[in-house]
Structure 1
Amino acid sequence: MREAMASFVAKLTFREMCVVLREQRGWRQAHDFFSWMKLQLCYEPSVVAYTILLRAYGNASKIELAEEAFLEMLEAGVEPDAVACGTLLCVYARRGRHGDMMLFYAATRRRGVAPPVSAFNFMLSSLQKHRLHGKVIHLWKHMMEMEEANNVVPNHFTYTVVIGSFVKAGLLEEAMDVLGKMRASRLVPEEATYSCLISLSSRHGRGEQVVMLYEEMRAHGIVPSNYTCASLLALYDKSEDYSKALSLFSEMERSRVVIDEVIYGILIRIYGKIGLYDDAQRTFEEIDSAGLLSDEQTYVAMAQVHMNARNYDKALQVLGLMRSRNVKPSKFSYGALLRCHVAREDIAAAEDVFRALCKYGLPDVFCCNDLLRLYVKLGQLEKASAFILKMRKEDIQLDEALCMTVMEVCCKSGMITDADKILKEMNNGGVTMKSSTMVSIIEMYARNRTSVMQEQDSSSKALACRTDSSALNATLKSLLDTPGGSSIACQLIRKLAREGRTCEAKFLHEQLTQLGVKPEDSATSTLIVQYGQEQKLHQAEELFESASTSFPIRGPVYNAMVDALCKCGNIGEAYHLFMKMADQGHSRDVVTISILVTHLTKHGKFQEVENIMHGCFHGEVELDTVAYNTFIKSMLESALVSKQANYTQLSTYMIA
């Protein structure tokens, strides 16, 4: 270098030497020329020269030399500026030395130096390439803090990278906030940016936001990619907005968007859901002829279309075609094959598929439920029980649907101990069940327990069933903790009572009382009335006594007991209870009044009828037409109609 530059000694200014340094092609030449520069009289330590040298070292990935040059600059008393610091940051970023990069970045912040946007972009891009999206977001927040104070203004590249990292991190709201800043800067996002935002919005179920992003992209004249269109089609499929899906497909054809197998698969699925089976078959054949048919999901989509049309043999043909073409099956296709055999009620084939499915690990709850439902449907309770024990052994976590099926099998097979354990585990595990599911489980549980209680067998198993109801109580508590849970439980009691399942209704009534929850009067009264219809006066009296002991009872329960006493022929006690109810100020039901008066009339107790009538008139009870007619009929039969005063009084009340 000295020989080459000998003729230029004392002829170049410092500025000219910097220009020559910048034009050196290799790091060695730059290193040697800088060494020559420092020997010249006009040389003075400058951040410009060191920055040029740092860039040369960085382009050659000579990190150690770059670090030495930076230290030398500091020792020479040169204060590094934003460009110099940014250059070294870019050197670290290029080589993926993110730890050193972030340490040096922290040091520059402490010195109050804000790197230029180009350096930030380099760092952000490097971090994103290495999937360090959390650090990208951290760095972005620093940029926002510096934006106003240091004039660090993000550009198009910055926004694109940051939005991409927010999307990768699943932070939709934050990504949309950055998009808003990008719009405010009057920058138009790329198709890839819109695409990733549409995809994430779709996964979050933000249908309106997806449509808004798509329309905004189209307004900018951006042609969507097939990936973007696939995300939109999947959203329309999920939301059952099939008309928009078909409209989008037509738009894709007009815009000459390349339609790949994924999109065709979604289209086949949509055709099947809206009943266009011929169109689905035609599309499947077209992509097969075009040589695009290679994805397992496309075969399964077509098989599902046939299953929806109950063409199970055709579904099996499609899945068989997939295997013949050496398309590697997965749990996805085995699940479809299992559903097909279950629909055909082919136990042997379904069991073979399930065994193959188990080779991929634990089957999902949907497959387990499909096979278990098949066992129940065909009455194979022994196989169903064995399958449940196997699931318990393999610790398969139950969802609502599978739990319902398992409870049904346990109740039918007498596996109450297992049912108790399953319910306790689900309650202790915090598994959230819908109110309807809990009601169904409680109903099955009550039906089985009452049947056991009615058996004459006093074995230890039956005794255990009778004494341990903690699992049922836990489920009842879960139901009661939901909004309106107490009302739902009472609805079940009323339903069971009206269906004549009084033992089950009483069992649940007792469980609620034991939990300290007062059953609604309507539930208690419905059960008492049903006892009366079944001529079970003793049970009605027991329930009435129990209800009055546990909680204060009101008019509806009194009226129900009066009704039950009448139906069972105990008219005298019904009359005394009615008068007691009236004396205590409880509401008197007009239907109960009519029933009681009718029975008293049949037994010739006309004085009691008159007492009831006067009590109603003086108590200003609102009677309906049936009640008035009942009173008139009773009075006619007792020859009281000849008493003009009473007749006039009765007529006056009827007119009123």
Structure 2
Amino acid sequence: MHRLGFVDKLITELPHMLSKPTGSYCQSGCYNEALQLFDEMKSSGIVPDRVILATILSACARTRNLPSGRSVHSYIVASNLSIDAHLQSALISMYSNCGSLDTAQRLYDDMSPKNLVASTAMVFGYAKLGKIAVARSIFDQMTDKDLVCWSAMISGYAESDQPNEALKLFNEMQLLGVKPDEITMLSVISACANMGAIDQAKWVHIFLDKNGFHQILSIRNALIDMYSKCGSLADALTIFDETAFKDVITWTSMITGFAMHGNGRSALAVFDHMILEGVKPNGVTFISLLYACSHAGLVNEGRRIFETMIRDYRLEPKQEHYGCMVDLLGRARLLQEALEFVESMPYAPNVVVWGSLLGACRIHGDVKLGELVARRLLELDPNHDGAYVLLSNIYAKASRWEDVREVRNLMKNKGVIKEAGFSWIELNGYVHEFMMGDKSHPRSSEIYGKLNEVVTELELVGYAPDTATVLVDLQEEEKREAILLHSEKLALSLGLIDSKKGSLIHIAKNLRVCDDCHTFMKLASKVFEREIVLRDRTRFHQYKDGVCSCGDFW
């Protein structure tokens, strides 16, 4: 975008009016030009006023340019300029947006009285960093909240594996008569997608239609993703087919939907249709395509897609593309080729790439390569909990129990904590959330009774809890209890209580399902005559008659 032509003249002739072009730059999205203008003003000896400084800080916030923001702050301090509420709010917003919450908090603590802009900035900043409890504390202390503040808090919950809280807050917002906008609804859709709750998803869809959001393209794209993650490809396809104008995100969302369900051929067919329609794919499209090929075992097709991306579309592969290719080769038991592929990369592989190869080593039980890959991964990120989990699983499969204990001790000594797992199950339109060993549910006594019954029945057909996957140092009986209290087992127990034989049980989980729970679900589907659909972090698992759609490779 061209710079506004009258700016240079204003610099020399109308310094007191410079706030107007500065604001014009920011309103036009020309943030770098606004920063350049600020530098020119200083070089010309023009002293910017508080309005200009606040506008420049806004540009720094929008671009997350912390060094420039700090430079502006230093200029304000050096100029002995008194900081009014407007300027202080701008400083807080800049530091918050740039992730420097310590500085933002100090400025916020010094502010009295605290205004809406500053408080909203703090809520946004803490929510973005995943510090939801702190964000909610500030949010609850605010007597006046605008839509931006509500949206920031809802988004924070949605992005922090607390979708239930996001929807609760959205309902509270509705009761208070605050009307949502597109940004709010995108977060609400994301929350429904994360929970995999189809009834909640349909309610949100109806709300969108009634309130005039249904024709917004970003909303339609998000709905495709939501229905795919809720297990309803039919609804996702309906939205897709009814979308008159489809951009690259629309096509990619549908490709991703088929990919997560293991329908690689359908994903490739959508891509072919996309090309015929003249829509140019981007890097994310190819990540989804490679992911689809990987989970469907389409090795040759994956190789072709990777070459097409480079040759026909001149897209330079990023770490994620290499990670997908490594995953594709690894799942096909081509571990040596996968390693050679990693070693031939034009830049150093990151944790995504090494993590993909380590996952393949777990699937195929390659201890030697697994140790090498885990070492490389932990050199990059010593606190990568997934590396310890996968390496421990590799050792356990090889019955190397001393090495399993060593991995556990290493995690303990380094203070590495495994990410908490959550599972959701929707029954009669209500979403139930569980975490490991959860006893907060009002029907806990009934759920645990059912779980004990399920375990007893499954043990009669050969189930034995795989305690080797427990990464804490416990007695054997304590390990057994820990593995039996995983969140998805609790969700399944409630699902079995409230369902009949032949029915379908939907569960969603924020992490990859462990080996023991995977076996548990397979056996439960056969013994209790239910079809169980579990969506974990990587894909959908459809358990029926003791068999999983993933073929035990996930």
TM-score when normalising by structure 2: 0.52
Whether 2:199 is the aligned partner of 1:243: answer yes
Distance 1:440 1:64, change over 3 A: closer
Whether 2:275 is the aligned partner of 1:323: answer yes
The within-5 A match list for 1:501-650 is none
Distance 1:321 1:158, change over 3 A: same
* Cα distance, 1:231 vs structure 2: 0.8
Distance 1:165 1:343, change over 3 A: closer
Tell me the residue number matched to 1:263: 219
Distance 1:101 1:90, change over 3 A: farther
Tell me the residue number matched to 2:76: 101
CA contact 1:92–1:100 (8 Å) conserved in 2? no
Whether 2:333 is the aligned partner of 1:402: answer no
Distance 1:260 1:295, change over 3 A: farther
Distance 1:307 1:169, change over 3 A: closer
- SS in structure 2 opposite 1:178? helix
Whether 2:343 is the aligned partner of 1:373: answer no
CA contact 1:269–1:302 (8 Å) conserved in 2? yes
Whether 2:245 is the aligned partner of 1:283: answer no
* Cα distance, 1:257 vs structure 2: 3.1
* Cα distance, 1:94 vs structure 2: 6.1
Distance 1:306 1:98, change over 3 A: closer
Whether 2:406 is the aligned partner of 1:477: answer yes
AA at the equivalent of 1:361: K
CA contact 2:196–2:231 (8 Å) conserved in 1? no
* Cα distance, 1:195 vs structure 2: 1.1
Tell me the residue number matched to 1:70: none
CA contact 1:124–1:136 (8 Å) conserved in 2? no
| Matched-pair identity in % | 15
Instruction: Measure the CA separation in 2 of the matches of 1:193 and 1:145.
Output: 21
Tell me the residue number matched to 2:341: 390
Q: Count the aligned residue pairs.
A: 354
Instruction: Measure the CA separation in 1 of the matches of 2:217 and 2:359.
Output: 38
AA at the equivalent of 1:266: A
* Cα distance, 1:135 vs structure 2: 7.9
Instruction: Measure the CA separation in 2 of the matches of 1:367 and 1:339.
Output: 8
Deviations 1:149-195 (A, max 9, x none): xxxx2344444455455556665444333323322xxx2x2212211
Deviations 1:511-566 (A, max 9, x none): xxxxxx9x99xxxxxxxxxxxxxxxxxxxxxxxxxxxxxxxxxxxxxxxxxxxxxx
- SS in structure 1 opposite 2:281? coil
Tell me the residue number matched to 1:226: 182
Distance 1:352 1:190, change over 3 A: same
- SS in structure 1 opposite 2:212? coil
CA contact 2:255–2:270 (8 Å) conserved in 1? yes
AA at the equivalent of 1:295: V
The within-5 A match list for 1:170-181 is 172-181=132-141
- SS in structure 1 opposite 2:178? coil
Whether 2:301 is the aligned partner of 1:349: answer yes
Instruction: Measure the CA separation in 2 of the matches of 1:274 and 1:27.
Output: 57
Q: Which has the higher helix share?
A: 1
* Cα distance, 1:228 vs structure 2: 0.9
Tell me the residue number matched to 2:87: 122
The within-5 A match list for 1:393-432 is 394=345, 396=349, 397=351, 402-406=357-361, 411=366, 418=369, 420-425=371-376, 430=382, 431-432=384-385
AA at the equivalent of 1:256: G
* Cα distance, 1:423 vs structure 2: 5.0
CA contact 2:327–2:357 (8 Å) conserved in 1? yes
Tell me the residue number matched to 1:625: none
CA contact 1:89–1:104 (8 Å) conserved in 2? no
* Cα distance, 1:204 vs structure 2: 1.7
> Which runs of no fewer than 5 residues in structure 2 stay unpaired?
1-13, 17-40, 58-71, 311-315, 413-461, 463-467, 477-554
Instruction: Measure the CA separation in 2 of the matches of 1:247 and 1:156.
Output: 31
AA at the equivalent of 1:222: V
Deviates more, 1:228-237 or 1:172-181: 172-181
CA contact 1:223–1:255 (8 Å) conserved in 2? no
Distance 1:277 1:155, change over 3 A: closer
- SS in structure 1 opposite 2:142? helix
Tell me the residue number matched to 1:334: 286
Please, which of 224, 236, 247 is the counterpart of residue 294 of structure 1?
247
AA at the equivalent of 2:224: I
Deviations 1:40-82 (A, max 9, x none): xxxxxxxxxxxxxxxxxxxxx9999998xxxxxxxxxxxxxxx
AA at the equivalent of 1:320: D
Instruction: Measure the CA separation in 1 of the matches of 2:267 and 2:134.
Output: 44
- SS in structure 2 opposite 1:256? coil
Instruction: Measure the CA separation in 1 of the matches of 2:231 and 2:129.
Output: 38
Distance 1:103 1:316, change over 3 A: same
* Cα distance, 1:478 vs structure 2: 0.9
* Cα distance, 1:299 vs structure 2: 1.6
AA at the equivalent of 1:331: G
CA contact 1:338–1:367 (8 Å) conserved in 2? yes
Q: Which has the larger radius of gyration?
A: 1
* Cα distance, 1:225 vs structure 2: 1.0
AA at the equivalent of 1:178: I
CA contact 1:233–1:266 (8 Å) conserved in 2? yes
Instruction: Measure the CA separation in 2 of the matches of 1:345 and 1:145.
Output: 58
Deviations 1:461-492 (A, max 9, x none): xxxxxxxxxxx965551146679xxxxxxxxx
Distance 1:477 1:131, change over 3 A: closer
AA at the equivalent of 1:391: V
Tell me the residue number matched to 2:503: none
Instruction: Measure the CA separation in 1 of the matches of 2:323 and 2:50.
Output: 51
* Cα distance, 1:206 vs structure 2: 2.7
The within-5 A match list for 1:460-475 is 474-475=403-404
CA contact 1:335–1:367 (8 Å) conserved in 2? no
Instruction: Measure the CA separation in 2 of the matches of 1:309 and 1:417.
Output: 32
Distance 1:480 1:280, change over 3 A: same
Instruction: Measure the CA separation in 2 of the matches of 1:404 and 1:171.
Output: 29
* Cα distance, 1:365 vs structure 2: 3.2
- SS in structure 2 opposite 1:257? coil
AA at the equivalent of 1:240: G
Deviations 1:185-231 (A, max 9, x none): xx2x2212211221122212233432343123212212111221111
Structure 1 runs (4+) greater than 6 angstroms displaced: 61-67, 129-132, 134-137
Instruction: Measure the CA separation in 1 of the matches of 2:149 and 2:276.
Output: 40
